[in-house]
C-alpha cells in the first residue's frame, strides 16, 4: 500500500499510457518500504545496551568495511580474464556490502555470545553501508564505468533508504508494538520485496542475453569462491578477536557480525548503485550464493559453540 501510494504520487512514466507504472519506480518504492519497516523494527534500547563495547564494534566494522573490501579488490583484479566481468563486479560488491542483522543476532544468541553487542554492530553496519558501500564501489569500479556517478547514487540511497529508515524510526513509538505483534507477517513482506527485486534483475539480465555466454562452471566457480571467502573471513575475524584479547562472548559476536553479508540490504543497494545495468542479475549472484552458504555454515558454528558453552 505504501509502495502504491508512492508510485501514485510519482506519476506515470513519460510517454506511458493509461497510468502505466514505471518498473524502476516500482522497484525503488519497494526498497523504500523495506527500509521503512527496518526503521520501525530498529530498537534504540538494544543499541544503548551494546554501545559500550567499543573495541568489539571497531574491530567488527573494520572486518566488514576494510578487510572484506580489500579481499574483494584482490579477487576483482586477480580473476581478470578468468571470470566474467559482471561476476567479478558481483564478488567485489559482495565484499563491500554491509553485514546482515537478523541472522547475525540470532546466531550470536544461539552460540551464547554477546547479543547486545551483536545488535549494535549489525545495525551500525547497515547504517554505515549506506555511505561506505557506494564509496567502495565507486572507488574500485567507477573509473571503469561499471557504476553510476557517486553523487546521484548517494542521493538515491539517502531518499530511498535513509529517509524511509528515519521515518520508520520516528514512528516506532506509535507503530512499534503493532509491528512486533505482526512480526511473522512483516517477514513475508520483507522477503517478498527482496524476491521481487532479485526476480526483476534476473529477468532484465536474461532479456539482455548476458547469461547465454555463461556455462555451469561459472556458477560452480562462484560457489567455490564464496566458500573460500567465507572461510577466509571467519578465520580472519576469529584471529583478530583473539589477538585483541576479547572475551569469549565478544569473540562470538565478532565472528558472526564481521564475516556475514546482508542480502536484505545488499539487493536494494545494488539496484540503486548499478541502476539499469543489463547484467544486474549476474552481479547479485555472488551475494545470493554467499548468503546461502553463510546461513548453513553459521548455523553449524552457532550450534557447536552453544553446546560447548
Spans of all domains in the chain: 25-308
For residue 108 the three cell numbers come to: 550470536
Cα(212)–Cα(233) distance, rounded to whole angstroms? Answer: 32
pLDDT number for residue 209:
55
Map residue 279 onto helix, strand or coil.
Answer: coil
SS3 148: coil
> CB–CB of 145/277 below 8 Å?
no
Share the mean pLDDT of the chain.
81
Among the ranges given (138-152, 157-171, 172-186), the one the predictor scored with the smallest mean pLDDT: 138-152
Separation of alpha carbons 292 and 297, rounded Å:
9
Residue 8: strand, helix, or coil: helix
Mean pLDDT of 54-77: 94
Alpha-carbon dihedral 203, 208, 211, 213, rounded to 10 degrees? 170
Residue 280: the pLDDT is 87
How far is the C-alpha of 282 from the C-alpha of 279, rounded, in Å?
Answer: 5
The 10 Å Cβ neighbour count of residue 150 is 15
**Cβ within 8 Å of residue 56, ≥6 positions away:** 114, 117, 121, 246, 250, 253, 254
Whose CA is closest to 163, among 34, 274, 25, 24? 34
What is the architecture of the domain spanning 25-308? Up-down Bundle (1.20)
Model confidence band, residue 24 (pLDDT cutoffs 50, 70, 90): low
Between 300 and 214, whose confidence is greater?
300
State if pTM tops 0.85: no
Choice between 201 and 272, residue whose per-residue pLDDT is larger: 272
**How many other β-carbons are positioned within 10 Å of the β-carbon of residue 47?**
14
- Does the structure show a pLDDT above 60 at 17? no
Amino acid at each position: 500500500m505504501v509502495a502504491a501510494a508512492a508510485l501514485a504520487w510519482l506519476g506515470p512514466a513519460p510517454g506511458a499510457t493509461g497510468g502505466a507504472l514505471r518498473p524502476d519506480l516500482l522497484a525503488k518504492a519497494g526498497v523504500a518500504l523495506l527500509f521503512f519497516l527496518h526503521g520501525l523494527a530498529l530498537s534504540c534500547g538494544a543499541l544503548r545496551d551494546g554501545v559500550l563495547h567499543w573495541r568489539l564494534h571497531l574491530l567488527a566494522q573494520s572486518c566488514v568495511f576494510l578487510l572484506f573490501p580489500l579481499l574483494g579488490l584482490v579477487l576483482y583484479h586477480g580473476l581478470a580474464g578468468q571470470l566474467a566481468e559482471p561476476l567479478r563486479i558481483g564478488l567485489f560488491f559482495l565484499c563491500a556490502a554491509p553485514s546482515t542483522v537478523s541472522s547475525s543476532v540470532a546466531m550470536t544468541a544461539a552460540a551464547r555470545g554477546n547479543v547486545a553487542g551483536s545488535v549494535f554492530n549489525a545495525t551500525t553496519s547497515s547504517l554505515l553501508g549506506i555511505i561506505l558501500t557506494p564509496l567502495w564501489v565507486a572507488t574500485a569500479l567507477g573509473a571503469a564505468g561499471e557504476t553510476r556517478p557517486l553523487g546521484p547514487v548517494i542521493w538515491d540511497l539517502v531518499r530511498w533508504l535513509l529517509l524511509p529508515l528515519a521515518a520508520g524510526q520516528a514512528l516506532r513509538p506509535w507503530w512499534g508494538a503493532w509491528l512486533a505483534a505482526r512480526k511473522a507477517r512483516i517477514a513475508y513482506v520483507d522477503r517478498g520485496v527482496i524476491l521481487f527485486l532479485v526476480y526483476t534483475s534476473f529477468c532484465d539480465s536474461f532479456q539482455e542475453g548476458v547469461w547465454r555466454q555463461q556455462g555451469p562452471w561459472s556458477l560452480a566457480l562462484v560457489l567455490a569462491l564464496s566458500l573460500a571467502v567465507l572461510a577466509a573471513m571467519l578465520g580472519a575475524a576469529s584471529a583478530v578477536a583473539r589477538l585483541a584479547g576479547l572475551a569469549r562472548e565478544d569473540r562470538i559476536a565478532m565472528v558472526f557480525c564481521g564475516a556475514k553479508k546482508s542480502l536484505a540490504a545488499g539487493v536494494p543497494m545494488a539496484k540503486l548503485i548499478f541502476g539499469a545495468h543489463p547484467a544486474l542479475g549476474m552481479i547479485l549472484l555472488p551475494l545470493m550464493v554467499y548468503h546461502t552458504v553463510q546461513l548453513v555454515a553459521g548455523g553449524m558454528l552457532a550450534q557447536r559453540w552453544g553446546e560447548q558453552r
